Amino acid sequence: MKTIKGLIALLAICCTAVSCEKDGDKIILSGLEPSKLIATATDIRLTQENAEAIALSFAWNNSELYTNTPGMNVPSSLPHISLQSAADAAFTTPTETVADKESHSFTGIELNTLAKNAGLEADESSPLYFRLKVTLGTNTDPVYSNIVSVNITPYKIDMSLIKMLDAKKEKVLGTLYSPESDGEYAGFVSATSWLNFFLQEGDGTLWGNVGVDGMAFKLTNDESMWNCWYPGQSGCFYTTVSTSGKEWTATHIPVLDISGAVDVEMSYVTSKNQWKATVTTTTDNSVIQISGTGKKYNVSTQTDDAAAIDTPIAFTVNGNQVALTATAGDITIPTAGTWTLTLDFSDPKTGTYTLTAGEGDDPEEEIFPFLYLAGIDDGTTGPDWNFNVKIARGNDGIYSGIVYVNSLWGFKMYTTADDWNNYYTMGETEGTLIKNGEGNITAPEEGVYLITVDLANLTYTMKKLENRIYISGLNDVWDFTVTLDKTADGVYSGTIEVTTVSPWGFKIYIEPENWNDYFGGGEGLLYYKGEGITDDAAGVGIYTLTVNLINATYEMIKQ
């Protein structure tokens, strides 16, 4: 792109006046003039690979506004500036983008979305027209700049998928599918209790929860959005999203039952988004059905468990495809014997059904209550590794814990105390694991870390704690303004004021604006991603709250 060297002189001069009465005097605001709009390019081919890079920039000159009252400054919020784009020079159906005071840039995905919304064909070069719209208020006529035409070749946008992003909008937590690419998405999601997320469509449009209390499951794409959140259940959720209706739903499926020739409960494998069961039939061509009852949460129920709507869940199969239906269809098991039946929803576009002979073997799903981090403290205890430091497995299958790291040579994760033969070490890159591999897991610098491990996906994370943690939900205010300061390694303490009892309790977050890493608990014990702490039920007043994240304990004493 060529750098903008300067701005062309004003094409014309006109004065626009806005007046108001103040103490009997009329204040006149003048000086609004047409700006000269300049673009950095006239012909652009957009690609998916460069979607996040700056593709096109605009600059313009600003009017010098003034009043007829000496000493009275023009508000810094004036004038109101937006860039309009349209497929025709008459701007029949323009799209407006709020702009900065003197320039604005579009990334590739933003420009591609403007082109799509204007009706430009993918892989064809077509003009997109831009102009600057400037106003002094809602009661004044706008002033427009010159029109700039840019030939744009957009790429095809896949609107069949919507991604669920974490609080930082970086990690994909799940994906939902829209077979008609019409903004109506659905799918099965493996979610933890109170999982927070944003939604991003294929054109880059970001969706979140309406930023008002009591509006759970109501969507918006304006800048005031909060993240969305699942209710306080963990496991499998049939999730729908309607961007046209600006709502979403979450139906929790606690269990699926196999009935007919056999009577068996299916188990949910959270890390794989699969339902599994072992069935034994005594006759050939035995017929079974799969069904259950879900609890549906939506705009009307909010996240109230008592209000959740009982919803029938049933499946039918066609070949290796499985589909959600109103009434359970018949499934035939061809020959008598022991079989492993699997419903797999890991592909957001289609569920699959498999029936394999024998009992299923999922070695990565073998459950160990703890992982022992031998070597993670050899800078403190000496070169002889031990099994003193461990992290626990949560209900969602994720191991987690706050650990003081002082490692000289790195460490390994052992599945059983004093068993040196079964362990996990670092894979090809940091953050990945391999079973019984060579070498150690690279240790970070000395400090206190939140360590999480997903053995099913062979991944781990290590996040360093800083000198402050955050209490959110206190007095039913969910922000990061209440803090506790570090008093020792992993220990934080301070005073908090309870002015009203929170219906959800409060939680402890390790960094601001990160809703995914938190601790809840009760009766003095902390649990990673646990329920809200309800000790505030003791009543209004000033409390001393001390949190020991390494020991997973807390103490809340009323002053």
Report angle CA 536, 539, 543 to the nearest 5 degrees. Answer: 60
- The structure tokens listed for 248 are 């979403």
Minimal CA–CA distance to 95: which of 126, 120, 76, 61? 120
Specify the pLDDT at position 366.
58
Residues 6 or more apart from 371 whose CB is under 8 A from it?
Answer: 390, 391, 393, 399, 413, 414, 415, 424, 453
Domain with CATH 2.60.40.10 in the chain: 18-153
Task: Please provide residue 258's backbone torsions phi and psi, each rounded to the nearest 5 degrees.
Answer: -100, 125
Specify the pLDDT at position 42.
93
Type of residue found at 10: L
Specify the pLDDT at position 18.
39
Q: Is CATH 2.60.40.10 what the domain over 18-153 is classified as, yes or no?
A: yes
d(CA 239, CA 403): 35
Domain with CATH 2.60.40.3620 in the chain: 468-558
Specify the pLDDT at position 10.
27
List strand residue ranges (DSSP E) for 326-411, in order: 331-333, 337-344, 351-357, 370-374, 390-393, 399-405
CA of 285: how far to CAs of 123, 261, 322, 398, 552, in Å? 52, 10, 19, 39, 53
List strand residue ranges (DSSP E) for 298-350, in order: 309-318, 321-325, 331-333, 337-344
Specify the pLDDT at position 232.
85
- The structure tokens listed for 264 are 């068996």
Burial code of 410-428, b = ≥16 C-beta within 10 A, e = fewer?
ebbbbbeeeeeeebbbbbe
Specify the pLDDT at position 204.
84
Give me the average pLDDT of each 10-residue run along the chain (559 residues): 31 32 48 79 89 89 59 57 92 88 87 91 94 77 90 91 88 92 95 88 91 93 92 91 97 95 91 91 95 97 95 94 93 94 94 88 64 94 91 84 95 93 91 92 95 89 95 93 96 96 92 90 90 91 96 94
Minimal CA–CA distance to 484: which of 506, 504, 515? 506
Whose structure tokens read 């027209």? 129
Type of residue found at 327: T
- The structure tokens listed for 171 are 């990690």
Fold classification of 365-464 (topology level): Immunoglobulin-like (2.60.40)
d(CA 363, CA 353): 20
Burial environment of residue 234 by CB neighbours within 10 A (0 to 12, 13 to 18, 19 or more): buried
d(CA 489, CA 465): 9
Name the CATH architecture for the domain at 468-558.
Sandwich (2.60)
In this prediction the pTM is 0.58
List strand residue ranges (DSSP E) for 99-195, in order: 103-107, 126-135, 143-144, 148-153, 161-165, 172-177, 184-191
